[in-house]
């Protein structure tokens, strides 16, 4: 079984009007291929393009949230995850879980009330920034010295109160440390890798990886080739290398997957879409990981985090 904490499939579904329940040669994720890949819980990002900052951003987000609800209504095999207890329920009933996460605080349009309304509509996680600056703070391509804004700090506190997962992927380093200091709950980096192995600005330093682990959080290994290798010629072996590195650094309790499928233009060789997730398990077995370690990395770590926060 697998939990994947980041895909951009909703953006593609709204943009191209494709049938999610039919196997397709387009994109990376659809319902039949999720089943093939044994993904029993998928986090669907609601990605708000920065060009919509403070202009129709909430409306753009609502269209994708509406699409998710439409998909759930069409299938009795797909269920929205609203509380941690829903995870065991979907397993028992043989369903696939879907968790909504907004990628980019632009969708809040500077209003805490919109955060609360998105929560009522089923959103359970928020990536505070994309790579640019927004009302909450600066992403990795923003102002290096700037951290969270006063509004960004209010958002983190309100997310803690509501029971929402705070996601620091894309956030710049100053903002990252602001979140570490401020959040009373575990935090995640839903789709980020190790900077020591690949120097891309989106990746995490050893100190950041350790800080997430110390707060009881989880890091989702990203499948973007340029986040896996500096030369971009990535294979499944590079995914395994990042797992090895983080396990050596902090142990196996803080690592999961955040593929970024449907949000990337290319994939690692041997992992062309979501149906090929089990290939990673084969690689972990060959590298000597135990069954217990594999279960933690593939699904239990993120499941346990969801259960801690979504109560």
Task: Check pLDDT > 80 for residue 185.
Answer: yes
Distances (CA, A) of 284 to 218, 239, 300: 18, 10, 15
Q: What is the pLDDT of residue 2?
A: 98
Q: Which domain CATH number covers 29? A: 3.20.20.140
Q: How open is the CA angle 81-83-86, to the nearest 5 degrees? A: 60
Q: What average pLDDT does this structure show over 41-55? A: 83
Q: What average pLDDT does this structure show over 30-37? A: 98
pLDDT band at 52 (very low <50, low <70, confident <90, very high): low
> Across all residues in the chain, what is the average pLDDT?
96
Provide the domain count of the chain.
Answer: 1
Q: How many angstroms separate the CA atoms of 309 and 311, rounded? A: 6
DSSP secondary structure letter of residue 235: B
Q: What is the pLDDT of residue 143?
A: 87
Domain that holds residue 261: 2-309
Q: What is the pLDDT of residue 16?
A: 85
Question: For residue 284, what is the enclosing H or E element?
Answer: helix 278-286
Question: For residue 165, what is the enclosing H or E element?
Answer: strand 165-167
Rg (CA), the chain: 18
Task: Check pLDDT > 70 for residue 54.
Answer: no
């Amino acid at each position: 079984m697998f939990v994947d904490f980041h895909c951009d499939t909703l953006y593609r579904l709204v943009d191209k009007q494709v049938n999610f329940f039919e196997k397709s040669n387009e994109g990376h994720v659809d319902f039949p291929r999720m089943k093939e890949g044994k993904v029993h819980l998928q986090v669907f990002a609601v990605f708000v393009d920065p060009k919509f900052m403070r202009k129709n951003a909430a409306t753009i987000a609502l269209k994708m949230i509406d699409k998710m609800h439409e998909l759930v209504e069409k299938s009795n095999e797909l269920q929205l995850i609203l509380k941690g207890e829903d995870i065991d329920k979907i397993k028992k009933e043989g369903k696939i879980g879907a968790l909504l996460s907004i990628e980019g605080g632009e969708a809040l349009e500077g209003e805490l009330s919109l955060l609360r309304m998105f929560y009522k509509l089923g959103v359970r996680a928020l990536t505070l920034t994309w790579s640019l600056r927004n009302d909450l703070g600066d992403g990795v391509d923003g102002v290096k010295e700037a951290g969270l804004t006063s509004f960004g700090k209010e958002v983190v506190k309100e997310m803690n109160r509501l029971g929402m997962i705070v996601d620091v992927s894309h956030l710049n380093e100053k903002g990252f440390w602001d979140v570490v200091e401020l959040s009373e709950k575990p935090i995640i980096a839903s789709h980020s890798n190790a900077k020591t192995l690949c120097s891309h600005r989106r990746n995490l330093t050893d100190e950041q990886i350790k800080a997430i682990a110390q707060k009881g959080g989880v890091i989702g290994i990203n499948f973007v080739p340029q986040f896996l290798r500096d030369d971009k010629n990535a294979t499944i072996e590079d995914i395994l290398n990042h797992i090895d590195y983080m396990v050596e650094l902090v142990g196996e309790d803080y690592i999961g997957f955040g593929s970024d499928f449907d949000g990337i233009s290319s994939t690692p060789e041997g992992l062309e879409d979501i149906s090929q997730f089990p290939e990673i398990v084969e690689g972990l077995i060959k590298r000597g990981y135990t069954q217990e370690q594999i279960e933690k990395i593939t699904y239990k770590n993120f499941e346990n985090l969801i259960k801690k926060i979504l109560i």
